[in-house]
Structure 1
Amino acid sequence: MSITNHTGIEIGIYTLADIGPDPLTGKTITPKQRMNEMIQAAKLADEAGLDVLGVGEHHRLDYASSSPAVILAAIAQATKHIKLTSTTSVLSTLDPVRLFEDFATLDLLSDGRAEILAGRGAFIESFPLFGYSTNDYDELFTEHMELLLQLNKNERVTWSGNFRSPLRNAEISPRPIQKKIPIWIGVGGTPESAVRAGKFGVGMGLAILGGDPLRFKPLVDLYRKTGMEAGHSSEALKVAVTGHAYISETTQQAKDEFFPYYSNYWTYVNRQRGMGSRMSRADFEHMASPNTALLVGSPQQIVEKVLHQHELFGHKRFLAQVDIGGLPYHKVAKNIELLATKVVPVIKKATSK
């Protein structure tokens, strides 16, 4: 069911590989099954003509993906066309040389499809794991980003900073197929992050998980203004938007089917963050209402929401997270199919003008 269409905005899916119990059966799948299903979903997305596939990084037993580059390398062998990105790589606690070389290797394995979305991460478990202090949260990210951009530009690098040993004419190998690996910064909602992405002149990936998307417009404007003032071209200043999505034939059906899983997802994410709150059906109905960013509904409802966001942000890419809360694989596959066949063609047409 290929619908490859290169006009209009890029549309894809991403996963954080959370491993939660299915709220309807109580069963939790193994990390091995989760991995197999991620590869199946990637194949399906590729065959359906989606543009991008992302895999996130977490260092916890309730997630299956501590190494996006390794998972994406496996996916590269099972797919042909889809771009392969991290969503996100926790750059504060990754060695930039290791990260770059891993994704340059992925670029060779995938015939030039690798990208990096770097962020500071929603969790901080990687800091003690790799011997870093959360006191250096911002400084680590900035320094590592500066080095990553140099590695992407030059095959030999001389560099020194505060958090790792200096490089003296170091050979950075292998070089990717692409002239440069596309690099983005993931932004949650702070003006500082938007300014940083603009100054660096890299793409900005905006995570909009709920609420009125209008509140993110100042961040996009700030990013573009900062980037232009720093001398970067408007082509370099690309915006991507990511969000949670669940699609069914009707909006009511989508809400009825997705509520147990979405409530379940936030129950365990909040528990991971030390909060005990549960989502009520009324809360969910409010979160999924027509003027919000949560993409739950019929294909038409999803199209309207994505196009509304596009009017606000003029973004070049949209990624949907379609596999959270213990959702069984057959529902994930149906989600991908409806996205590719009913939503993508309409959005591509509307945004290719």
Structure 2
Amino acid sequence: MVELGISTFGETTALESTGQPISHDQRIRHLVEEIELADQLGLDIYAIGEHHREDFAVSAPEIVLAAGAVNTKHIRLSSAVTILSSIDPVRVYQQYATIDALSNGRAEIMAGRGSFIESFPLFGYDLKDYEELFNEKLDMLLRIKDNTMLRWHGQLTQSVDNRPVYPRAVQEDFPIWVATGGNVDSTVRIAEQGLPIVYATIGGNPKAFRQLVRIYKEIGRRHGHDLNKMKVAAHSWGWIEEDRQAAVDHYFFATKQTVDNIAKDRPHWQEMTKEQYLQSVGPEGAIFVGDPQTVAQKIIKIIEDLELDRFMLHLPIGSMPHEATLNAIRLYGQEVAPIVRKHFEAK
């Protein structure tokens, strides 16, 4: 059965109604409430990203996830992503093993290079080592996952001479996913390692990722990996209201705030126009906005097109009023998820 869940960055852009952003501390408290609601509604996964910017509240997702673990019973808790290049893999494992203990075996790590680079100068890393840092630290994290006693000779990381790493995760085969924006070389390396992959399907037509999924599975097969463990996930921006047009109208401001903020720092991004937005929320676009039936059908399509094992709706991208966000989560859990699950149960 396909897993359905939510991803978030704890956005803190300006609200359309006030012109003011939600404070970081308030947004973090809201996130814990959202996790608990998603669990009550029977959603499968809640994932929080790491950023070091004013427009995102969460720089330490593991702490928010730990808070969310305490009063939840079923939902899996993941980063989305942990910027592995600029953090110590030993600490990453220890932190998520602790969440695994608090949640009784529901924690996961989603590792990524990070599409934002603020953490590199903040923690003293050189951007010229961008690829090498991630590759070495992922290898180190995987070694820690499989061995209590760590022997490691580092080039860009520390060397460790047979020292134990505690606590150990509750789950015997602790899940480590790797996220990518659709880079072919990243897909190939993740497949060669036999790790589950997550695609950020946030632009263009999501169907464009289909060839990458085929490459991923074919390379995994050639390397003799268990294809049942080579799972594919995607996350896409989205918003749900009872009325389709109201959802489309209300979500434009929040989406534009986020895109325009990113465009200030990235030459290849442009400020979002209304025309671009409407194309993105249309049937072939990458943003999942509308009433429950519209969003459910679009989720079914991306799951079938990309042969997904997991789909995460990034809800919201840009700040929306907290009560509206809770309502969108309720609609996702109570109306969208049953439609999607019934579709695949019938197959």
Question: Shorter-chain TM-score: which interval?
Answer: over 0.9
User: What one-letter code is carried by the residue in structure 1 that aligns with 2:221?
Assistant: M
Name the structure 2 match of 1:100: 93
Match of 1:58, SS?
A: coil
* 1:227 matched residue in structure 2: 220
User: 1:280 & 1:128 partners in 2: Cα distance?
Assistant: 32
Correspondence for 1:252: 245
The answer to whether structure 1 residue 62 and structure 2 residue 55 are counterparts is yes
**Is 1:48–1:340's contact at 8 Å kept on the other side of the alignment?**
yes
Equivalences for residues 151-162 of structure 1 within 5 A: 151-162=144-155
1:217 aligns with 2:210: yes
Tell me the distance in 1 between the aligned counterparts of 2:316 and 2:298.
Answer: 19
Question: Is contact 2:194–2:220 with CA below 8 Å preserved after alignment?
Answer: yes
Aligned to 1:175: 168
- Of 189, 196, 200, 2:193 maps to 200
Q: CA deviation at 1:321?
A: 1.0
C-alpha displacement of 1:269: 2.3
Question: Which amino acid is the alignment partner of residue 208 of structure 2?
Answer: R
Cα-to-partner distance string for 1:101-143 (whole Å, 9 max, x where unaligned)? 1111111111111100000011111111122111111111111
Specify the alignment match of 1:129 in structure 2: 122
| Distance in 1 (alpha carbons) for counterparts of 2:267 and 2:69 | 36
Deviation above 6 Å: which 4+ runs of structure 1? Answer: none
> Is the contact between residue 262 and residue 269 of structure 2 (CA under 8 Å) also seen in structure 1?
no
Structure 1 residue runs of 5 or longer lacking an equivalent are 1-7
Matched-pair contact (CA < 8 Å) for 1:204–1:238: yes
Which digits, 9 at most, give the CA deviation of each residue in 1:24-77, with x for residues without a partner? 311222111001111111111111111100011011233211111111111111
Q: Normalized against structure 1, the TM-score is what? A: 0.95
The answer as to 2:79 corresponding to 1:86 is yes
Tell me the percent identity. 37
Pair 1:281–1:87, CA change in 2 (3 A): same
Task: Report the equivalent of 2:276.
Answer: 283
Instruction: Tell me if 1:34 matches 2:17.
Output: no
Q: Give the 3-state SS of the residue equivalent to 1:175 in structure 2.
A: coil
Amino acid across the alignment from 1:246: W
Asked if 1:337 corresponds to 2:344, the answer is no
Q: Of residues 160, 172, 183 in structure 2, which corresponds to 1:190?
A: 183
CA contact (8 A) 1:211 1:294 kept: no
The alignment of Structure 1 onto Structure 2 pairs a total of residues equal to 346
Say if 2:258 and 2:318, in contact at 8 Å, map to a contact too: yes
Give the secondary structure class of the aligned counterpart of 1:278. coil
Residue 119 of structure 1 pairs with residue 112 of structure 2: yes
In the alignment, which residue of structure 1 is the partner of 2:312?
319
Contact residue 50 and residue 81 of structure 2 kept, 8 A = yes
Equivalent-residue separation in structure 1 for 2:54 and 2:248 (angstroms):
29
Contact 2:136/2:157 (<8 A) preserved: no
CA distance in 1, matches of 2:157, 2:172: 26
Equivalent position to 1:266, from 239, 245, 259: 259
How does the TM-score come out when normalised to structure 2? 0.96
SS at match of 1:202: coil
| Alpha-carbon spacing, 1:276–1:170, altered in 2? closer, same or farther (3 Å) | closer
Q: CA deviation digits over 1:78-117, x for unaligned, max 9?
A: 3221100000000111111110111111111111111000
After superposition, give the CA deviation of every residue in 1:173-196 in whole Å (9 maximum; x if it has no partner).
011110022000001011011111
- Give the aligned CA root-mean-square deviation in angstroms: 1.4
CA distance in structure 1 between the aligned counterparts of 2:265 and 2:320, rounded to whole angstroms: 19
Q: Secondary structure at the match of 2:234?
A: strand
CA distance in 2, matches of 1:321, 1:213: 14
- Find the counterpart in structure 1 of residue 340 from structure 2: 347
Q: Which of 242, 262, 269 is residue 235 of structure 2 equivalent to?
A: 242
Equivalent residue of 2:264, what SS? helix
What is the identity, as a one-letter code, of the residue corresponding to 2:141? L
Contiguous gaps of at least 5 residues in structure 2:
none
SS at match of 1:181: coil
Q: Output the CA distance in 2 between the equivalents of 1:210 and 1:351.
A: 26
- What is the CA–CA distance in structure 2 between the aligned matches of 1:12 and 1:30, rounded to whole Å? 25
